[in-house]
């Protein structure tokens, strides 16, 4: 290429840092090799100077040390390198650049002084001050010679005055403008693709939505030179959103951990309704703009909300782009400019943000699907454990009493002469195991009715102490054959009445006491305590000094068929449904139930709350009682 140009003119100079194949030479054209410390070796310059034409490109390569490793790999490719500088057709600028470069050529190759001087004279390039040894008079003479020679060139080449030549120059300039626009478009597309690639790489590394948003907000904010960039997840009916990820330029206030209003924000509501971006160049006109599209009933509230956001966070220009997937709102991208001057949101910038928003929408739905899949897998694992426990527990709890009943009945039928005392023992054993099987089936049916919502509740005002006494009587009757631990109660008669179904409340107390007695030695202690917690609720605690529970299993004990011991090495009977039934009952009555334990062999405490009668309800109840007594 340089050789072909050299066939047209002798004034061709190539300047570069020295390499193996590049050195000072004058074979076809002039080559000038810089030394290693030459500052020009870090520049990229192109100068074309003719008598009727001038153009120069002067630029430096731009490096950004703040980029991540992923971005650095992209920048290493030639098409991703960045340059900044000027490209001009201004002859005065081109002549000045030529003078500087010719002086640098003479510094490295002074033997070219005659050739360089000829170029200065032909193209009217003034001598550099440092190199100028000519007088002002000789300069003037040189300029006159150039003007005379230039006029001869024009005379000898009349096509320069032809209108066609002017049209051709205009066409070339228009082509260069189109080429510049094309370069800009390519740069925008490259930037868009680079950001999408970065987000895609983040997706491949992890499906954690927080990590993906963190990468996207940083890259998008840097690419668009925004003062603030926010990306947050939200739904169309959300009242507020908590900001957890943002890009922030210097001297701009952070909004991280702030509650960002959505319901009262007219911009957000417009995005929800139209499912399109909203761009505001100047927010000083925003309040009036909002009032024209906001329902009359919400105008004041919307105006106050938007004015507060603008003034508090210094937002001058605002862009909101929704994160959508199949018409469903998943989140929002917001870009703010906080300077004193309005910022024009160009179509290229909006297109870039929308492309990133589309990619993020797909990413978030994939992350959400993955999270749901993980949740379903956990539920399937829990269901599988429940099935295994059900098979093991029912096998043990059914087979053992059935075997005992069968042995007792066979003995009674085959031994007619069995002593009456032994016959009575056989009958009592068979009846006890039959009762055990009945309780097993009853627990299954009870939990099924509670979970299906087919239970009829008879809620009334009850004294808690009465329910506790009934539960204690049931426990003592059920455990006649074994020594129970010492059971104490701290339930005051002064406690307010509870609002509950008495039968089901006794069931809860009985099952909690039964568990406490089964897992506590006879020399241990079981206590029932009731206190008012001040939230119109009564808190009941059943504590024991028995085996205790590992802290990590305090929530699992309320699962169906849960057993502290394995199914094959259990020392106590039971279906593992008792605490699951208790939770269902207490939840239906409007309370909560939970467990506490310091660990193995350190006892346990089971707490539950139950609603109580308020003072106003108590007074109304007393008035009704008085009216009934007076009527009678």
**pLDDT over 60 (residue 145):** no
CA angle 624, 627, 629 (to 5 degrees): 110
The answer to whether the predicted template modeling score (pTM) of the entire model surpasses 0.95 is: no
More confident site: 396 or 456: 456
More confident site: 399 or 150: 399
Residues 6+ apart with CB under 8 A from 81: 61, 75
Q: Taking Cα atoms as reference points, which of 491, 450, 442, 488 lies closest to residue 467?
A: 491
Look up residue 561 and give its two tokens: 């068929």
Q: pLDDT band at 295, cuts 50/70/90?
A: low
More confident site: 500 or 569: 500
**Alpha-carbon distances, residue 194 vs 70, 189, 197, 200, 353 (angstroms):** 10, 8, 5, 10, 13
**What integer pLDDT is reported at residue 66 of this predicted model?**
56
* Pairing state between β 43-49 and 30-33: unpaired
Look up residue 269 and give its two tokens: 């509501």
Q: Summarize the confidence of residues 158-177 as an average pLDDT.
A: 59
**pLDDT over 60 (residue 139):** no
Q: Summarize the confidence of residues 317-337 as an average pLDDT.
A: 94
Give the Cα separation of 479 and 482 in Å (integer).
6
Alpha helical stretches, state H, 206-265: 209-223
Check residue 612 and report its DSSP letter: B
More confident site: 287 or 530: 530
Give the Cα separation of 299 and 305 in Å (integer).
10
Give the Cα separation of 441 and 452 in Å (integer).
17
**What integer pLDDT is reported at residue 135 of this predicted model?**
40
**pLDDT over 70 (residue 553):** yes
Give the Cα separation of 187 and 220 in Å (integer).
15
Give the Cα separation of 95 and 88 in Å (integer).
11
Assign 3-class secondary structure to 522-560: CCCEEEEEEEECCCCEEEEEEEECCCCCCHHHCCHHHCC
* Contact predicate 528/490, CB 8 Å: yes
CB atoms within 10 A of CB 283: 22
Q: Summarize the confidence of residues 460-480 as an average pLDDT.
A: 89
Residues 6+ apart with CB under 8 A from 501: 457, 458, 459, 460, 589
Q: Which residue has the tokens 């490793």?
A: 69
Q: Which residue has the tokens 């895609």?
A: 200
**pLDDT over 60 (residue 158):** no
**pLDDT over 60 (residue 150):** no
Report pLDDT digits (tens) over 211-264.
Answer: 889 988 998 998 888 999 999 999 999 999 999 999 999 889 999 999 999 999
Q: Summarize the confidence of residues 339-368 as an average pLDDT.
A: 88
**What phi and psi values does residue 335 have, to the nearest 5 degrees?**
-120, 130
Give the DSSP H/E element, type plus range, for residue 605. strand 604-611
**pLDDT over 90 (residue 587):** yes
What integer best gives the mean pLDDT of the chain?
81
Q: Summarize the confidence of residues 115-140 as an average pLDDT.
A: 62
Look up residue 492 and give its two tokens: 């005051």
Residues, the chain, total?
Answer: 632
Going from the N-terminus, what domains does the chain have, and what CATH number goes with each?
A: 2-161 (no CATH), 188-371 (3.30.450.40), 455-618 (3.30.565.10)
**pLDDT over 80 (residue 330):** yes
446-474 as b/e: b if 16+ CB within 10 A:
bbeebeeeeeeeeeeebebeebbebbbeb
């Amino acid at each position: 290429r340089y050789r072909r140009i050299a066939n047209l003119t002798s004034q061709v100079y190539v300047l570069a840092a020295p390499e193996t194949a590049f050195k000072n030479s004058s074979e076809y054209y002039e080559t000038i090799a810089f030394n290693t410390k030459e500052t020009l070796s870090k520049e990229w310059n192109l100068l074309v100077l003719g008598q009727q034409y001038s153009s120069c490109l002067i630029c430096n390569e731009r490096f950004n040390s703040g980029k991540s490793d992923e971005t650095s790999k992209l920048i290493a490719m030639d098409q991703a390198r960045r340059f900044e500088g000027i490209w001009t057709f201004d002859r005065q600028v081109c002549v000045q650049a030529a003078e500087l470069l010719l002086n640098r050529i003479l510094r490295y190759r002074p033997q070219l002084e005659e050739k360089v001087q000829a170029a200065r004279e032909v193209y009217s390039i003034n001598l550099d001050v440092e190199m100028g040894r000519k007088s002002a008079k000789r300069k003037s003479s040189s300029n006159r010679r150039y003007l005379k020679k230039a006029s001869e060139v024009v005379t000898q080449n009349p096509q320069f005055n032809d209108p066609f030549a002017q049209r051709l120059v205009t066409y070339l300039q228009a082509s260069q403008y189109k080429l510049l626009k094309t370069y800009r478009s390519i740069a925008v597309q490259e930037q868009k693709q680079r950001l999408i690639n970065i987000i895609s790489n983040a997706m491949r590394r992890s499906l954690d939505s927080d990590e993906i948003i963190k990468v996207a907000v940083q890259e998008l904010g840097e690419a668009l030179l925004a003062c603030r960039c926010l990306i947050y997840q939200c739904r169309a009916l959300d009242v507020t959103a908590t900001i957890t990820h943002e890009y922030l330029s210097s001297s701009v206030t952070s909004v991280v951990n702030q509650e960002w209003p959505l319901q009262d924000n007219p911009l957000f509501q417009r995005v929800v309704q139209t499912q399109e971006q909203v761009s505001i160049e100047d927010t000083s006109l925003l309040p009036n703009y909002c009032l024209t599209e906001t329902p009359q009933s919400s105008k004041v509230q919307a105006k106050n909300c938007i004015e507060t956001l603008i003034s508090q966070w210094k937002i001058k220009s605002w862009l909101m782009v929704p994160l959508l997937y199949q018409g469903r709102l998943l989140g929002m991208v917001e870009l703010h400019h906080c300077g004193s001057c309005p910022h024009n949101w160009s179509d290229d910038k909006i297109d870039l943000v929308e492309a990133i928003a589309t990619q993020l929408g797909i990413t978030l739905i994939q992350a959400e699907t993955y999270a749901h899949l993980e949740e379903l897998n956990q539920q399937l694992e829990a269901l599988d454990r429940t099935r295994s426990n059900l098979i093991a527990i029912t096998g043990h709890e059914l087979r053992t009493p059935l075997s005992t009943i069968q042995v007792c009945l066979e003995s009674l039928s085959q031994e007619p002469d069995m002593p009456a005392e032994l016959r009575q023992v056989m009958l009592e054993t068979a009846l006890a195991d039959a009762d055990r099987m009945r309780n097993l089936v009853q627990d299954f049916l009870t939990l099924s009715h509670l979970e299906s919502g087919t239970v009829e509740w008879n809620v009334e005002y009850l004294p808690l102490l009465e329910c506790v006494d009934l539960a204690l009587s049931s426990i003592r009757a059920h455990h006649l054959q074994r020594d129970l631990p010492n059971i104490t109660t701290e339930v005051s008669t002064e406690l307010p009445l509870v609002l509950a179904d008495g039968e089901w409340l006794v069931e809860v107390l009985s099952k909690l006491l039964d568990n406490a007695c089964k897992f506590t030695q006879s020399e241990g202690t079981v206590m029932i305590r009731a206190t008012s917690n001040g939230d119109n609720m009564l808190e009941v605690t059943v504590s024991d000094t028995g085996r205790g529970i590992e802290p990590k299993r305090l929530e699992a004990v309320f699962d169906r068929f849960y057993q502290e011991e394995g199914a094959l090495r259990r020392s106590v009977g039971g279906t593992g449904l008792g605490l699951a039934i208790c939770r269902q009952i207490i939840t239906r009555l409007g309370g909560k139930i939970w467990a506490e334990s310091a660990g193995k062999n350190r006892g346990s405490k089971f707490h539950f709350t139950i609603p109580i009668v308020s003072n106003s309800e108590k007074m109304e109840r007393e008035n009704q009682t008085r009216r009934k007594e007076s009527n009678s």
